[in-house]
Chain A
Amino acid sequence: MSNAADIKRIAVVAAGLSVPSSTRLLADMLADASVRAVEARGVEVEVQHIELRGLAHALTDNLLTGFPSPELAAAIETVHRADGVIAVTPVFSASYSGLFKTFFDVLELGVLDAKPVLAAATAGTARHSLVIDHALRPLFSYLHAIVVPTGVFAATDDFAGPGAGGGGELQKRVDRAAGELAALVAGPTGVAAPPAATRHLVEDEFEHPTSFEDLLKRASDGPPAY
């Protein structure tokens, strides 16, 4: 028996557009493998899926109004509260899709600080495979996430070719990446004490307001070192 606080949460953000999409297929493979890998460490885990297609209008509205709709706010909160994130995008014009990027554009800076992220992408051809390292990794580095060493790229061949299916090459990469994510989410070193400094979010300031004396001192001395 464990209480709710011990249950790890993994948020799966997928930006596939068709139903079913290969992006969602890959997201499901990664989620299943991550659950197995976390549970193998004797830790309970719960997966929450965020399909960005259903939030497409809300994301555009957020860009224009500066605040999220209740559904989008709930999705952002899911990511914020997650112990780890699996982020999967289709490759559009040699990079992540605009929809995928928009979701990460509207996150308050700091939401992904020190958060383990497994980055993954799908495309029609293996010639796009560097998108993981050329597009996704820099994005998450900027957001101060901890990106697991193995990124997972899947092309049409991986789903349909000779190496497809259980035990195939794609499954091996998925399991390796999931193992790395599980080590960060639930491993003995864990992230109970975040390895990196996390930024002060607005909600933290509401929770623990900086006293006016400190604000005045900061104004005349300059901001504290971050």
Chain B
Amino acid sequence: MGMQFGIFTVGDVTTDPTTGKTPTEYERIKATVAIAKKAEEIGLDVFATGEHHNPPFIASNPTATLAYIGAQTERIILSTATTLITTTDPVLIAEDYAKLQHLTDGRVDLMMGRGNTGPVYPWFGKDIRQGINLAIENYALLRQLWTETNVDWKGRFRTPLQGYTSTPRPLDGVAPFVWHGSIRSPEIAEQAAYYGDGFFHNHIFWPASHTQQMVRLYRQRWEHYGHGAPETAIVGLGGQFFMRKNSQDAINEFRPYFDNAPVYGHGPSLEDFSEATPLTVGSPQQVIERTLSFREYVGDYQRQLFLVDHAGLPLKTVLEQLDLYGEILPTLRAEFEKLRGPGVPDAPTHASLVEKAGGPTDTAIYGVGDDATGTSDRDAVLEGEL
């Protein structure tokens, strides 16, 4: 298969600074679906959505979005960027994404992230100062829920579990492949390496030096934990482009969006930011060249996702960007393939994981009577009052 290409969205509802028009939540949600369908149409391999629980985002409930897209697509891998492993109960993540696997015939993987919105933590009963600890403990539980039935578990951040079986079981007995995303927390690179999971760097908004040192650490620790040589680790990168046939047209058209963007707007110039971060605004050829240069500082990698739909860009423009992405895609695939060193694996897919596991297994528990679902809580409540 070679390298995977795709897009990721953060699901922001942002006013178009050139028209003053703000899409409704309905329009933005439907636009996200249209963008994902277009991604499959132009031949991309992955569509990933973020998760946010506050305005101005429509990115809550990602599995509903992904299942809906899954029902209208055939081939594209549905993923997240990122799933909030800190504030979401791992029991719910285990259920939701296993269900999504079944519904989409295994076209699912996901990326763990801690989230960057401080106020979210207390809304879900958590404390941002425990962010790393939550990511470590919750993920350890999530893995256990996917790989074991009858889980006994006790930790610091959620109520204990006794004889608990998460349902449905992962499709074919194989959990979705997991990536861990972090911008500059070495602990997360360590975690990804320990489990032999993928590591993803968002690679937007930040200088490439952050990406480079995180990926270097992840590859070193991947080898340390016995998963193989550093170049066999599974690396994904984000990226951000705006393309027009003529590079000056791209710069002129994108500048107002850049200048007013939620994350970096009103700060450095488009030119300075393009130099300091992987943002590429220019011709298709410039985007090809910049993208090919990423491997010079992270090594050969498995997945490249681009952010194409933020900062108030209207749907029409985003779809035009995807048409251009589709046009450079064959070149990107061919050039990366030519440059790729020997022994560099593809990113795992459901099919490859099933094959590695020696074929599908059914870990579901059948045939026992239901002794957990009561008819009413009335008796239990009364008993409690005695």
Interface residues of A (CB under 8 A from B): 60-61, 63-67, 69-70, 202, 205-206, 209-212, 215-216, 218-223
Contacts and interface: CB of A to CB of B under 8 A. Distances in A.
Contact of A220 (B132, B156, B225): B156
The residue among A202, A206, A211 with the most chain B CB atoms within 10 A of its own CB is A206
Contact of B264 (A65, A218, A221): A65
Contact of B273 (A65, A210, A215, A216): A65
Contacts of B207: 67
Interface stretch (B167-175, B182-190, B341-349): B182-190
Contact of B267 (A60, A210, A215, A219): A60
Nearest to A60: B267
A13 B261 CA distance: 33
Given A218-B133, A220-B137, 10 more contacts: A64-B266, A65-B267, A66-B205, A209-B221, A216-B137, A216-B140, A218-B136, A219-B134, A219-B136, A222-B133
Contacts of B136: 215-216, 218-219
Contacts of A210: 187, 190
B276 interface: yes
B228 interface: no
B37 interface: no
B142 interface: no
A217 B263 CA distance: 35
A117 B268 CA distance: 31
B184 A202 contact: yes
B87 to A, nearest CB: 15
B276 A69 contact: yes
Nearest to B265: A64
A77 to B, nearest CB: 12
Contacts of A222: 133, 156
Contacts of B276: 67, 69-70
Contact of B133 (A60, A202, A211, A223): A223
B264 A64 contact: yes
B336 interface: no
Contact of A219 (B156, B185, B194, B273): B156
B213 interface: yes
A70 B136 CA distance: 33
A8 to B, nearest CB: 28
A223 B266 CA distance: 38
B362 interface: no
Contact of A209 (B184, B190, B268): B190
Give me the 7 closest cross-chain CB pairs, A-B, nearest first.
A64-B267, A212-B194, A219-B136, A219-B133, A219-B137, A205-B186, A61-B268
A190 B136 CA distance: 40
A63 B189 CA distance: 26
Contacts of B205: 65-66
Contact of B217 (A70, A209, A218): A209
B210 interface: yes
Nearest to A223: B133
A160 B9 CA distance: 62
A205 B187 contact: yes
A14 B210 CA distance: 29
Given A61-B268, A66-B206, A219-B156, A202 B137 contact: no
Between B134, B155, B194, the greatest number of chain A beta carbons within 10 A of the residue's beta carbon is seen for B194
Given A67-B207, A69-B276, A206-B217, A212 B190 contact: yes
Q: Which of A61, A65, A211 has the most CB of B within 10 A?
A: A65
A223 B134 CA distance: 12
A206 B140 CA distance: 23
B191 interface: yes
A142 B276 CA distance: 31
Contact of A206 (B133, B186, B225, B267): B186
Given A209-B186, A215-B187, A220-B156, A65 B268 contact: yes
Interface in B120-162: 132-134, 136-137, 140, 155-156
A19 B187 CA distance: 46
A65 B206 CA distance: 8
A215 B264 contact: no
Interface string B178-219: 000000111101110110000000000111001001000100
